[in-house]
Amino acid sequence: MKLKIISSKRTSINTIDDTIKISVPDLSLLKNKNNKEIIEYLFYEDEIIKSFCPSDKIRDYMLYCIFNNKKVEELEKILIEERYPLFSILMNATNHFKNSYNRMKKIDGTIVIECQKEDIESAISLAISLNNKVIILCNELSLKEYSKVLGKYDLKKLKEYDIEVGYQQENTPINIYKLYELSTLVNSLADNIKKYNLSSFETIMYVYDMVKYKIYKKDDNDYLNGRDLDRLLLEEQDAIVCSGYSNLAVAILNSLGIKAKPLISYKERHQRVIVNVNDTKYNRSGVYVFDPTGDRRQNMQDTIYIKKYDYFGIPLQRAKESAYDEISEVLDYSLDDLINILNDKKNIYKSFILHDKLIDIIGFVQDTSTKEDILSVVSILVENYPLIIESYYQKELTIEEFTKMLYSVRRIEYITGMINNIDFDEIRETISDRFTKIECDEFRKRKMSKEMYFLKTLDTKVKMENYLDNNMFNFINGATSETNEIYRDALNLKLIKVLKSGGIKNERK
């Protein structure tokens, strides 16, 4: 038998196939308890026992039957003597705990602990106290937060523990000490980015450019080499696939305090990044999709990848057209349909699946506990459905916003050496290409002739370039608070870069 321990609002024990599932509100309650003590604790916390058990005498005899493998018929005699009318309820409860206790004696192999962010230290403490190998599943913490949590432990002992942690969606659980190494590395990278004081969208663009620099390569022998963060960063694998680009961006952004997670299209077998952006500089708050795989560097000679932002900051409505995703599958239901499925007693499995998906979807844009039951989720939906939809269905970024973002990021990329110079022609071309393609996508949907599509595209390109000729420098003027004179700003940046590189050389001497 396998054991899975879950942090939950309610206390329970159930068996599904070959797995015993124990749910408790506080994981520390199970620490240093043997099987008998765990069953006894769950027994006393059980709602049926609390509601229907009339006396200590009956309760004690129920426990006697459970731990001594006695037949419940003996309990039935006592219940009849006590003239207890609902004895079948207590007999079923006794059988349930007796069977659970007997199954727990057969537990072998890995124990899984599933917990929320606030329970991670209790989960680690419980895992350390167990004799079995343990996998902790908790992807609510950023790697920066994991770095702080794991830094409290004796690192020598951390190496010795047979504990793995599932720290982020779409990554294989890794040894807890390796997680400490990975989290420290990503934390250092995030701290380095944070010092540039970029806005949320600008930070995402900077990370986007870092991630898309890597060249797509699949490892035919082991797909995980191109997907899992520990292999990409600690083992420095040269392979990377769409899930690797996504996982890398998600890890860095979350460690920068920007809420991000993988967005999966099972239909297209593709993984992107979905981000809940809160950017006060651009007055933008809501969900956008980013796909660094689509804008990636193609080969070692590719120098134009830096200009590609076709898949940057896409509203979910547009993103789902190219790769229909797991979130859109749920949001495309009406509110009435969602409530009907949740309340459908005839299809409990579908109801629970939708419940879990909604918890993730709602929790991504609102502060909602992952422990909410179905009734609570229905209540949240009824009260907040318009706000949830509004959060996920955002408008396109404007040309002015994108121009300011791009220039602000190019300034930092120039100082850090990611680019060699600030090329205003390149900035103009980058903006023109992105927004021309967005408009041309609308033409494609109208199913016009090739000739008409070509003419429309050409006309759009000319209008876009004329618009940028008249407005781009005005937009850039507002991108930095340091100066309103663009060329003076460029000279200042060159001076900063020279001084910085000179400082580095002096340090090396």
For the chain, the 3-state helix, strand and coil shares in percent, each to the nearest 5, are: 60, 10, 30
**H-run or E-run covering 426:** helix 424-445
What's CA 84's distance to the chain center, in Å?
51
| The predicted structure's pLDDT at residue 456 | 86
Whether 128 and 20 have beta carbons less than 8 Å apart is answered as: no
Per residue in 137-175, pLDDT tens? 999 999 999 999 999 999 899 999 999 999 999 999 999
Q: Tell me the residue type at 337.
A: D
Per residue in 34-84, pLDDT tens? 999 999 999 999 988 888 877 888 888 889 889 998 877 777 777 777 777
Whether 168 and 246 have beta carbons less than 8 Å apart is answered as: no
Phi, psi of 297 (to 5 degrees): -70, 135
| The predicted structure's pLDDT at residue 483 | 43
Query: Cα–Cα distance between 308 and 411 in angstroms, integer?
Result: 17
Question: What DSSP line would sit under 111-148, residue for residue?
Answer: EEEE--GGGHHHHHHHHHH-SS-EEEE--SS-HHHHHH
Whether 35 and 145 have beta carbons less than 8 Å apart is answered as: no
Phi, psi of 65 (to 5 degrees): -65, -40
User: CA dihedral in degrees (216, 217, 223, 229; nearest 10)?
Assistant: -50
Cα–Cα distances in angstroms (integers) from residue 455 to residues 134, 444, 450, 452, 458, in the given order: 63, 12, 9, 5, 5
Which regions in the chain score pLDDT beneath 70? 368-374, 478-509
| The predicted structure's pLDDT at residue 431 | 96
Query: Cα–Cα distance between 21 and 4 in angstroms, integer?
Result: 5
Query: Cα–Cα distance between 15 and 263 in angstroms, integer?
Result: 31
The 270-279 sheet, strands edge to edge: 259-265, 270-279, 284-290
Beta partners for residue 13, in sequence order: 22
Task: Give the β-pairing of 284-290 and 270-279.
Answer: antiparallel
Query: Cα–Cα distance between 165 and 172 in angstroms, integer?
Result: 9
Angle 381-387-390 (CA atoms, 0-180°, nearest 5)? 125
Q: Check residue 307 and report its DSSP letter.
A: G
What's CA 480's distance to the chain center, in Å?
32
Whether 464 and 392 have beta carbons less than 8 Å apart is answered as: no
User: CA dihedral in degrees (107, 111, 116, 122; nearest 10)?
Assistant: 90
Whether 52 and 86 have beta carbons less than 8 Å apart is answered as: yes
Task: Give the β-pairing of 259-265 and 270-279.
Answer: antiparallel
To the question of pTM greater than 0.85 for the whole model, the response is yes
